[in-house]
Structure formats: C-alpha cells, structure tokens
C-alpha cells in the first residue's frame, strides 16, 4: 500500500508524475537495508529526479528553523540531494519522483542490474506504470489502485485544491494553505515555482511532484479558481 495511490486528477494530469519506491520488509530483508537504500537514492540522482526523499528525514526541499516573515520572499531554492542520501540511518521508505518516463525506464533498468534485494514499486497512472516496466524488460506481478472518493463528495475541497494537496499522501498540505498559495499565484505574489517549492517542504517523505504542481498553479493563474465538485480520478498503480 502506498499513500501516493490517492493523488487526485484526470488521467492526463499524471503524464508527468512517476514515483519509484524502495521498501524493505521488517524482519525479512531489512538487514543491511540502509546501505541499499542509500545506493537506490544515489542511482536515482543520476537520472535527474525532480524530488527525492527518505520518509524518516525529509526530501530535497529542506525546511529550516531559522526563518522570519520576510525570508520566504528571498529563500534559497537549492535542492539538497546530498543530505537526503546521507541522512538515511534506518530501514525506511525511500522514493524518487520523475516527470519523464524515459528517465524512469533508465532508472529501473539500472536498478534491475544492481539487484538490491529490496521491493521496488512504481506509482503512476496504471497504463504509464506498466509501459515503463515493460520498456525496462519487466512484467508486473501485482497491482494496487485507488477507487477514488466516495460519500459526501460535495463537502470536499475544490478540484484544484485536491489536485495539489493530495500530492502529499500523509495529509501534510492543508486545504486552506493550498488555497492561499493558489490565490497568491493568481495575484502575482508568488510564482508557480515558488509556491511549488513551499508546498514540497511540507511533504516530508519526498513524493510531492513540483513539476506537476507548477503546471497546476499556472493553470489556476490562467483560468481562475478550480471547479467545485468531485471531478475525476485516474487509476493509479
């Protein structure tokens, strides 16, 4: 089970959204997993991920304790890959996010040669995930996917807010915070890139996709606020 199954949006909105995980099983193959997971991240880095993270210590978009109300306007946008790799200190879940299927295929091929002995999962639109696996010479042995949202969906947030907030499967992106950043982008107070980086810092496991977020912020700036309602959810595997 992965919390990335519940990303919200149409099938087309996931064309630039691919997450690859490495996960050890407690008591089965967790011995020596730290070095293997660091190696996973080192290989991922070679293939230019747009985000990367260790669920226990955070992503390449690092938070800071030394902030004041003005620093957000001039914050260093540097992405810290080294800290993510070196901070892996216990068996955990590590992940790399890509916006290009060719990079995913190349990454999977290298992982296959490396044979780390860890469970490797791809989370993407179901057809896209299967296509990447087959191009890498693999056939999936199992699949999990989200059936969408049920119940009083009229009480859900608007479509745009859900598309952005559900990119953190642990619920660390509040609806109100996302709405605030959407409004700031529409007002010109933040660029899509600045707003995306801000949200990414709150997703500590590193599965937030800043490329997709930039595109969604840009769409919001062009066409106005999202349509309220259930919208459409694509099958994710």
pLDDT at site 52:
95
pLDDT digits (tens, 9 = 90+) for 137-187: 998 888 887 888 888 888 889 999 999 999 998 889 999 999 999 999 999
Q: 43 falls in which pLDDT band (50, 70, 90)?
A: very high
Q: What is the pTM of this model?
A: 0.87
Q: Please give the residue that has the higher pLDDT: either 211 or 80.
A: 211
Question: With helix as H, strand as E and coil as C, how does 9-67 read?
Answer: ECHHHHCCCEEEEEECCCCCCCCCHHHHHHHHHHHHHHCCCCEEEECCCEECCCCCCCC
How far apart are the C-alpha atoms of 37 and 94, rounded to whole Å? 7
Indicate the pLDDT class of residue 67, thresholds 50, 70 and 90. Answer: low
Q: What average pLDDT score do residues 96-122 get?
A: 95
Sorted by sequence, the CB contacts under 8 Å of residue 53 that are 6+ apart come out as 59, 60, 84, 94, 95, 203, 204, 205, 206, 207
Q: Give pLDDT, residue 44.
A: 96
């Amino acid at each position: 089970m992965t919390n990335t199954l519940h990303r919200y949006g149409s099938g087309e909105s996931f064309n630039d959204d691919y997450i690859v995980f490495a996960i050890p099983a407690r008591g089965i193959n967790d011995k020596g997993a730290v070095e293997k997971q660091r190696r996973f991240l080192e290989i991922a880095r070679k293939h230019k991920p747009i985000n990367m993270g260790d669920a226990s210590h955070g992503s390449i978009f690092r938070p800071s304790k030394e902030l004041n109300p003005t620093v957000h306007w001039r914050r260093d946008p540097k992405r810290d890959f080294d800290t993510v790799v070196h901070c892996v200190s216990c068996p955990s879940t590590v992940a790399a996010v890509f916006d290009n299927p060719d990079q995913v295929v190349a990454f999977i091929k290298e992982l296959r040669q490396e044979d780390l002995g860890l469970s490797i999962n791809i989370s993407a639109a179901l057809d896209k995930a299967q296509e990447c696996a087959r191009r890498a010479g693999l056939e999936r042995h199992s699949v999990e996917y989200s059936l969408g949202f049920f119940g009083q969906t009229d009480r859900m947030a608007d479509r745009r807010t859900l598309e952005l907030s559900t990119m953190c499967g642990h619920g660390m992106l509040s609806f109100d915070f996302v709405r605030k950043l959407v409004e700031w982008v529409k007002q010109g107070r933040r660029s899509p890139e600045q707003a995306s980086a801000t949200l990414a810092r709150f997703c500590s496991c590193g599965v937030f996709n800043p490329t997709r977020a930039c595109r969604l912020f840009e769409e919001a700036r062009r066409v106005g606020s999202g349509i309220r309602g259930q919208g459409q959810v694509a099958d994710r595997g």
